[in-house]
């Protein structure tokens, strides 16, 4: 099974990113072939500061490797280091119907809000389709709210195949487990747009300060508390063993425990869970060439497959099998 997924570099990864997706990406990396790319071309629709974007890409790569993405098991690369994907995007746009793009969520949402949408946002789903199709992907890990992207990709591939013959491999969505609830500091879903996130690689001091700021109710220390309605406990369950969860739940129900004690337990569990990754992240920070080499090697692997697929598509369209080399 060939797995592919892209991650947008639009800010530092937080616990919601990790438990909602990254942890599952890493679990899938031992398959026949796993491609994971940092979607810097997609990020251009929202990040317009060059230095900021370069920093986000760098941080994303370091974070993923520190968290366990293994270049011996998976191919990690920058999207823009595979220029064939933009050529495939154009070839796909020539057969993509407007109505298919007009119904896509991102474009519809901006239009409904009266926000001007540029051509990049409108054609975003075609670039996404090229990202998927250029590696003959079998499975694409996505959240339930992103299944539409895979459906659009399949629609585009099927239309191309109907016009030019069986050329593109049709992928399927691999729906990520959404059972893990990841509340933010305010109790709402953890999201950068809400400003309620807990970054994975904050310093221990900053991490503890954030955890201690998690919103809780005003139940007195001496009173029993319901762990299942508390964001602190919801987060603790993501990090602790079933036995540890049971012990803390009993402390909640028995009374005599303040939320500060529960938050300290959450902090301790987070330090234990992410401790090794934090050390790896510091090592990579001190030796950035390690990750750059991983990205470059990943791009070479990805390009070998991308060239193969693009040549197949060019031939199907009636174009030359490969462009004439530029002579200086």
What gap in Å lies between CA 23 and CA 8, rounded to an integer? 16
The reply to whether 237 belongs to the active site is no
Nearest to 196 by CA among 165, 231, 166, 168: 231
Distance between CA atoms of 208 and 14, rounded to whole angstroms? 15
C-alpha to C-alpha distance for 171 and 151, rounded to whole angstroms: 9
Q: How far apart are CA 226 and CA 216, in angstroms?
A: 11
Q: Where are the alpha helices (DSSP H) in the chain?
A: 15-17, 23-27, 40-43, 50-67, 84-93, 98-102, 105-112, 119-133, 147-164, 204-212, 231-239, 242-254, 259-286, 288-317
Pairing of strands 75-78, 139-142: unpaired
Residue partners of 285: CB distance under 8 A and separation at least 6: 62
| Mutual angle of helices 259-286 and 288-317, in 10-degree steps | 80
73 is catalytic: no
Annotated active-site residue in 110, 111, 181, 215: 110
Which of 2, 73, 189, 215 is the catalytic position?
Answer: 189
- Active-site choice (2, 111, 192, 215): 192
Burial of 294 (0-12, 13-18, 19+ CB in 10 A): buried
Contact between 130 and 90 (Cβ < 8 Å): no
189 has catalytic annotation: yes
Catalytic residues: 110, 189, 192
């Amino acid at each position: 099974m060939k797995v592919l997924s892209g991650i947008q570099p639009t800010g530092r990864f937080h616990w919601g990113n990790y438990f909602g997706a990254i942890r599952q990406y890493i679990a899938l990396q031992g398959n026949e072939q796993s491609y994971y790319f940092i979607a810097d071309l997609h990020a251009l629709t929202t990040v317009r500061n060059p230095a900021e974007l370069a920093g986000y890409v760098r941080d994303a790569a370091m974070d993923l490797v520190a968290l366990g993405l293994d270049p011996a098991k998976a191919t990690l690369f920058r999207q823009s280091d595979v220029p064939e994907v933009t050529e495939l995007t154009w070839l796909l746009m020539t057969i993509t119907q407007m109505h298919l793009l007009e119904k896509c969520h991102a474009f519809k949402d901006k239009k409904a809000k009266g926000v001007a949408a540029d051509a990049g946002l409108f054609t975003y789903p075609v670039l996404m389709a090229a990202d998927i199709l250029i590696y003959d992907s079998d499975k694409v890990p996505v959240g339930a709210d992103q299944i539409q992207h895979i459906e659009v990709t399949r629609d585009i591939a099927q239309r191309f195949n109907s016009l030019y013959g069986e050329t593109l491999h049709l992928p399927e969505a691999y729906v990520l487990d959404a059972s893990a609830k990841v509340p933010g500091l305010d109790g709402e879903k953890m999201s950068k747009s809400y400003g309620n996130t807990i970054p994975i690689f904050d310093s221990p001091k900053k991490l503890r300060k954030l955890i201690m700021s998690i919103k809780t109710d005003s139940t007195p220390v001496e009173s029993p508390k319901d762990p299942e309605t508390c964001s602190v406990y919801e987060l603790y369950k993501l990090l602790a063993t079933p036995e540890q969860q049971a012990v803390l739940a009993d402390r909640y129900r028995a009374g005599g425990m303040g939320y500060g004690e529960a938050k300290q337990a959450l902090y301790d569990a987070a330090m234990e869970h992410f401790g090794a990754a934090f050390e790896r992240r510091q090592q990579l920070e001190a030796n950035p060439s390690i990750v750059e080499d991983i990205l470059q090697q990943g791009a070479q692997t990805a390009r070998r497959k991308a060239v193969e697929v693009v040549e197949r598509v060019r031939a199907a369209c009636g174009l030359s099998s490969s462009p004439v080399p530029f002579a200086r």
